[in-house]
Structure 1
Amino acid sequence: MNDRKPTIVLGMPADNQIHKTIESALTYHGFDVINIAVDGQEFRYPSFASRLSVKIRQALGDKHAKRRLKSRLLTESFEQQLDAAGGSADYALFIRGDTYTPEFLQDVKRRVRGNTVNYQWDGMSRFPNIRDCAALFDKFYVFDPADIRPSENYLPATNFYFDHNINLPETPPNDIYFVGFHMEPRRAAITAFARETEKLGLKTDLAIGGLDMSEAELRRLYPENIRTFIGIRRFEDNLKAAQQAEILVDFKTPAHNGLSFRPFEALGYRKKLITTNAGIKKYDFYHPDNVFVWDGEHLDGLTEFIARPLHEFPPEIYQKYSFGNWINYILDIEPHQKISLPE
C-alpha cells in the first residue's frame, strides 16, 4: 500500500502571510508542501559581499542585478527543499505567478510530474506582466469574469473559504466586521457606512490600513469608529476576526470585478454579507436574505436585512466553495465540483 502524500510546490507573494494559511490548508488536505513564497516588501542580502556586488553592478548600469540575485537565492532554496522531498514534486501551484521570473517558473515546471498551474486573484489589468508568462503553465485560472476571453485559454475560478481551523463562537461578540486598505475611490462609502452603523447602535470592528502615508494622515480621513493602522495585517488575524462577527462587509476594489475572499468566508462560516459588488447577484450562492448589495449611498432596508434569518443552502454549495474542493478543481484531481464564473 502506497501511503506517500503528494508533494506540491506553493509559490506566491508573502506580503500578508496568507501563504502560511494556504500551506496549512494544503497540509490539512493531505499534501506535503514546498513553500517558496517570496516577500515583495523585504529583502535581506545574505552577506555584505553580495550587497556590495549588487551595488557595484548597479553603478555600472546593470538594472537587474538585485533581481538576478534574488532569483538565484530562490532557486537554491527551492532545489534544497526539492532534494529533501525526493528530487521532484507532483504539482505546483502559483498564485500571482508574475512574482517570479520566467526562467524560474520554467525550472520549477521541469521538476514537477503533474500540473503546474497559476491562479490570478487580481484582475489581469492590475498586473499585466502575467500575460508574458501565462503560456508557461499547464492551466491558468482567473477570478474576474471580465478576464475570460475566447481568444485566450484562461480557465474560470473563484476565491474560496478555508475549511480547516474553523472556530466559530456560539454568540459572536461583534455585529459587523470589516478590514481593508485605504483607497480613495471607496473612502466616501466606507465613511458613510461607519456613520450609519453608529446611528444603528451596532457593535462594529472596522479597520482601515495604509501604506504610503503616516498614521496621522490616515486617521484624519475616517470617523472615530474606524480603527486605522499602517502596514500589512496578517491574513490569519483577519480570518480570526471575521469569525467573531455576525456580518462581514466587503467594499469592492475598483481595479476588478471578481469576488474577494469576504463573500466566501461569509458563505462558509454562515455569516451575512454586506457588499458593494453587485456582481455577486450572478453567483449561485447569492440570496437576498444573506447578502445585502449596497449602492454605496443609500442604506434603506439594512435594518430589515439584519433582522431576517440566514438562508441555508444545500450542502454541495458549501462544499463547492471550500478550499478542499477548490484545490482539487485547480489541480484537476477527482472528485471535485467544477467552478465557473458568471457571463
Structure 2
Amino acid sequence: MNDNKIAILRVKNDDYFFRYIARRLHPLYFTKNLHLFEKLYQHHIIILGFWHFFVRHYNCFILFDAMLVDEVPNYIKKKNPKAKVIVYFWNRINQNNDYLLRNSNIDKFYTFDKTDSKKYGIHFNETFYVPTLLPNNPVLYDAFFVGRAKERKKELIEVQQILEHSGCTVFFKIVEHEKDYISYSNYLKLLSQSKIIVDIVNNNQTGLTLRVMESLFYQKKLITNNKKVCEYPFYRANNIFIIDNDINPKKIRAFLKKPYQPVPDDVLKNYTFEAWLNRFKREDIL
C-alpha cells in the first residue's frame, strides 16, 4: 500500500471535524505517501480546488459522502479512467445521499454502519478517530451534548430533563441553525469540562458515532441509546449507560458513582486512522 498513491477528498467547509483533523494528520499523510486535498462546495456547484491538477498522479481516491456530489467522481474518472474511486459513508444512507449508489463512476462503497452494509450490499469499515490533548480545564458539567437536532430533538430534551432531575449539571446545545454551529476546538473545550458525553442516534442506527470515539479516546463516560455498543470489545458497564425504557434518576445516579474502567490500548488501536485505512480491502486500493 505504501507504493500506491491515495488521495482522500473532504469537504472544505465542514468545520465540525474534518478541518480539525486535517492539521493533525498532515505529517501522517506525508510520511505514508497519502495526501489530503480539498473540494469546495457551494449551492450545488463544484469549484475545483488545487487537487484537480493532480488527479492523474493518484491510483485511488477515497471520498467521504458528506455533501459529495456526482461531479467529483465523474471528474476523476474523466481525467484518470484507471483510478479507483471509493466512497465511504460516514453517515446513514438515506434520501439525501443514496443517489451516490447509482453513480457508475464509483467503484466501491464502504459504510460505518453494519445495518446499511447488509441492506445495500456494500462493504463495512469501522469508523476512526484522531485524538489530541484536551485543554486542561476544570470540570463544570456532569453531562453534555452539542449536535444537530436532526430527528431526535424530542428524545434529547427528554434525556436532558431526566439528567437534570437526577441532580446532574448539564450543558445541552441542540443546533437547529447554521449560525449556532461551534468549531470543533470549542467543542473539545466543552468536552474537557464534562464527565459524560450524551449520544442519541436516530432509529435503527448501529454505526458508532463521533461521540462514542471521543468517550473512548478521552476516557469520558457515555450515555447512549445505541443498544449495539454492548456488542463491542470496548464496552464496560461502568463506562457506558445504555438508555432503555426504564431510564430514571436512580439509575443515572448509580452510573455516576461507578469508577471509569480504562479500555486497553490494543482495543483502542482498532479505531485509529491507520487501522481504518488498512481495513480497506487490498484489491480496492491497489
Could you tell me the TM-score, scaled by structure 1's length?
A: 0.68
- Measured at CA, do residues 150 and 7 of structure 1 come closer, stay the same or move farther in structure 2, by a change above 3 Å? closer
Deviation of 1:235 after TM superposition, in Å, equals 3.4
Cα deviation digits, residues 186-207 of structure 1 (max 9, x gap): 3333223222333343332211
- Aligned 8 A contact 2:12 2:38 in 1: no
Deviation of 1:318 after TM superposition, in Å, equals 0.8
Name the structure 2 match of 1:323: 273
- Measured at CA, do residues 286 and 94 of structure 1 come closer, stay the same or move farther in structure 2, by a change above 3 Å? same
Match of 2:100 among 110, 127, 130: 130
- Aligned 8 A contact 2:66 2:90 in 1: no
- Aligned 8 A contact 1:97 1:118 in 2: no
Name the structure 1 match of 2:35: 33
Letter in 1 for 2:175: G
Name the structure 2 match of 1:144: 113
User: 1:113-128 counterparts in 2 under 5 A?
Assistant: 116-126=85-95, 127-128=97-98
Cα deviation digits, residues 130-172 of structure 1 (max 9, x gap): 2112x534442112221223873x2112322223x32253753
Deviation of 1:95 after TM superposition, in Å, equals 0.6
- Aligned 8 A contact 1:13 1:96 in 2: no
Q: Secondary structure at the match of 2:62?
A: strand
Letter in 2 for 1:125: N
Match of 2:170 among 199, 204, 207: 204
Corresponding residue pairs, total: 276
Greater gyration radius: 1
**Alpha-carbon distance in structure 2 between the residues aligned to 1:190 and 1:150:** 27
User: 1:255-334 counterparts in 2 under 5 A?
Assistant: 256-295=205-244, 298-299=247-248, 300-330=250-280, 332=282
- Aligned 8 A contact 2:88 2:110 in 1: yes
- Measured at CA, do residues 8 and 120 of structure 1 come closer, stay the same or move farther in structure 2, by a change above 3 Å? same
Name the structure 2 match of 1:48: none
Letter in 2 for 1:21: Y
Greater per-residue strand proportion = 2
Q: Secondary structure at the match of 1:237?
A: helix
Q: List alignment gaps of at least 5 residues for structure 2.
A: none
- Aligned 8 A contact 2:239 2:261 in 1: yes
Could you tell me the TM-score, scaled by structure 2's length?
A: 0.80
Identity over the aligned pairs, expressed in percent?
A: 21
- Aligned 8 A contact 1:13 1:95 in 2: no
Match of 1:166 among 133, 136, 142: 133
Letter in 1 for 2:149: H
Q: Secondary structure at the match of 1:273?
A: strand
Letter in 2 for 1:124: I
Q: Secondary structure at the match of 2:139?
A: coil
**Alpha-carbon distance in structure 1 between the residues aligned to 2:189 and 2:4:** 29
Name the structure 2 match of 1:250: 199
- Measured at CA, do residues 298 and 268 of structure 1 come closer, stay the same or move farther in structure 2, by a change above 3 Å? same
Q: CA RMSD in A?
A: 3.3
- Measured at CA, do residues 316 and 113 of structure 1 come closer, stay the same or move farther in structure 2, by a change above 3 Å? farther
Q: Secondary structure at the match of 1:36?
A: strand
Q: List alignment gaps of at least 5 residues for structure 1.
A: 44-66, 212-228, 334-343
Deviation of 1:297 after TM superposition, in Å, equals 5.8
Cα deviation digits, residues 3-48 of structure 1 (max 9, x gap): 9996624134734453212322431423363422334xx45xxxxx
